[in-house]
Chain A
Amino acid sequence: MDATPQKLPSNPIPRILAEKETKIVARDVNVYYGDKHAIKHLSIDIPDRAVSAFIGPSGCGKSTFLRCINRMNDTIPSARVTGQILVDGKDIHDRDLDVVQLRARVGMVFQKPNPFPKSIFENIAYGPRIHGIAKSKADLEEIVVNSLKKAGLFEEVKDRLSHSGTSLSGGQQQRLCIARAIAVNPEIILMDEPCSALDPIASARIEELIDEIRQNYCIIIVTHSMQQAARVSQLTAFFHLGDLVEIGDTEDMFTAPKNKRTQDYITGRFG
């Protein structure tokens, strides 16, 4: 690890970070949108094979930071990112790191389900195909089926893989997007409020899914639902106005928050 570890905003270090390997390390990250300072001197460690939840009121920078991890902010012309973000000890802003490769390792699920307007099969096959993961047609079919199975969608759509991905219900679409992300074998899956456009039953289904797959991936989920964060995550980080206010094991955060602002937010006094 070539980064100098800095003091994390909360002490003691969350137990989950001691238990699991650290997958992502961010040090002194600042994000600016034009003149707006969206994230201020953020430092955080994210554990592998666990779910980390980012919570906080709207506009606090949690999605912005999420989009830093797969460098999605590159697509916004006015965005500027400073500081270090290391994935497996490798700086993602390194010159010799290819952003396309990074994104193949860091999958993303967006707030609104955004399947390609193509068949269900094509939706999932697209990633493996452009990365040359599948060697043959049979390989590709296997990847599609496995991804759908992992996303818990296979049974529902196995008879209509050639139907349009957009013909599915909202919850199914979101699971299709998760399957699409899984299909390229990522190590990290970023989820930007994946349930905000879904009804409670579909949300519950996604939460179950996240719980099932967390053994294999480093998952970061941004959510506005405190209950959801409490249910699915092991680590919770609370953001406010661009600051990482508090980070801790989820059970501690929701039962005994140390910071006043965290306490106020969790109890619904603002936000």
Chain B
Amino acid sequence: MTDFSKKLDPALVAKRYASERRFRAYGAVALAISVLFLVYLIVDIAVKAWPSFFEHHIVLKVELDPARIDPAQVQKGDFNGIIKDGLRAAFPNVTTRADSKKLMAQLSTGTGDDLRILTVANPAMIGTTVNASALLSDDADLYFKGMHAPTLKTPGQTNLQIAKDGENYLFTGDLSQLVAGQIVRANGGAFRITSMEPGGAKAEVLLTPDTLNSLVAGNWDILSFAAIEVDRRIDDRAVVLLEAMRDKGIVEKHFSWRFFSSGDSREPELAGLRGAITGSLLTVVMTLLLSLPLGIAAAIYLEEFAPKNNWTQFIEVNINNLAAVPSIIFGLLGLAVFIGFFGLPRSVPLVGGLVLALLVLPTIIIASRAALNAVPPSIKEAALGVGASHLQAIFHHVLPLAVPGILTGTILGVARALGETAPLLMIGMVAFIVDVPNGFRDAATVLPVQIYLWSDLPEIAFQSRTAAAIIVLLVVLFCLNAIAIYLRKRFERRW
């Protein structure tokens, strides 16, 4: 038997293995870091986005007064007014004009829309009293989602007396729980402690109480805040009203279908993605219609038919160069050529699709050529050998085998087109467009541009909407990639 260990220097062998282990460790560390970043990114976005998929309503008893809804024109009925009446009826304590305004401000400006849709579908409801679900405003919605400075509720554990003191009120008795700035809720009303004085706690009224009975431990409570009023998006009066709604049990949380079914809006609670999704879809369809046939035909010609000369080489080099051109340049080109020269309208998916088609053409051509090139030449020779023409050999045998590769390249190109923002800014697809586009010539925006637009808005609720839009875009892209993988597996054949 030969002793193998004698043949090689053991130190050298050990060094070789050590270097391999080291290299594998580097790889594992690199992978771990990338995964960490990715997971952090996705989790962060998902956590921020989550609240946007839900919305808060209050359920109100409202009368669908025929005087406010013309049965012939239900669509034009004053549904916001009806909801507001319902809300007023639910809060009889709110009497002053300022308080009433504050109460109404808790409703969305589109609060009557759901009731409108319901009534249009069921005109028989007119004249009856129904339970209507009224959408709350973005700040009220955020309050119930717990995204404002937290409000602490402490039950009252002492007995207090309350008395009117001029304009204000005075609490006496065991004042150990009270601190200035807190809100005391009792007897159906709410008071803000303004100052603690030897004679008692001075308070101003936020919500008129029903009576001025003495406060017994357990039947009153205190609202206190982590931040002072001026630092909060929601002031004390609004908190009192919203807490009153919560206590009445009329607040409901629903999945926000509105987010997917409505167009853009300046009001965060009404803003939806349907316009952007439709715009993206139309643009991508346009892109595919143009770039797929052109790209594959160009790839087949270059790979199979083009004479191998300097001219072809020049074209090939330039196609590769085009794939590396910054996308905003394509936007400028689109602006100059399609809008400036051909006079096509601005902001429309037609032009967006044209520009993005130019953008992804090089990608599709390069991927398709690689796929065609990867088909073993023996397959083509076999077809030629039995007398197929060059074109038959390509279309019957080479192309079907290249389809998985072509599809992969195409879908990656389309995914890029779907995520592209810069060129669309140039052709005006960045406008604020409320209507959902109906065709290729309607003004539209697309998902990534919508994200860009929302990220710029001051309302806090739009932060969450932006994150939610990113999630939707990511889901769409993941779906596209999943389709790409599925199609590749489906068409993949061994040879």
Contacts and interface: CB of A to CB of B under 8 A. Distances in A.
Q: Decide if the interface of chain B is mainly helix, strand, loop or mixed.
A: helix
A103 interface: yes
Interface residues of A, number: 28
Interface residues of B, number: 22
A101 interface: yes
Contacts of A32: none
Interface stretch (B139-147, B234-242, B382-390): B382-390
Nearest to B375: A117
B456 interface: no
Interface in A170-199: 177, 180-181, 183-184
Best-surrounded residue of A75, A101, A110, A166 (most CB of chain B within 10 A):
A75
A183 B385 CA distance: 12
Interface string A113-129: 01111000000001100
A40 interface: no
Nearest to A167: B494
Given A114-B379, A116-B397, A130-B392, A103 B494 contact: no
A75 B401 CA distance: 20
B20 interface: no
A110 B493 contact: no
Contacts, number: 70
B381 A103 contact: no
B341 interface: no
Given A72-B381, A77-B308, A117 B386 contact: no
B495 interface: yes
B494 to A, nearest CB: 6
Interface in A181-232: 181, 183-184
Nearest to B304: A75
Interface string B479-495: 00000000000000111
B470 to A, nearest CB: 42
Contacts of B383: 116, 126
A107 interface: yes
Contact of B386 (A77, A164, A166, A180): A180
21 contacts: A77-B308, A100-B387, A100-B389, A101-B387, A103-B387, A104-B386, A108-B381, A109-B385, A110-B378, A110-B385, A116-B379, A116-B383, A127-B386, A127-B387, A164-B494, A166-B493, A166-B495, A180-B382, A181-B386, A183-B386, A184-B387
Interface of B: 307-308, 376, 378-389, 392, 396-397, 401, 493-495
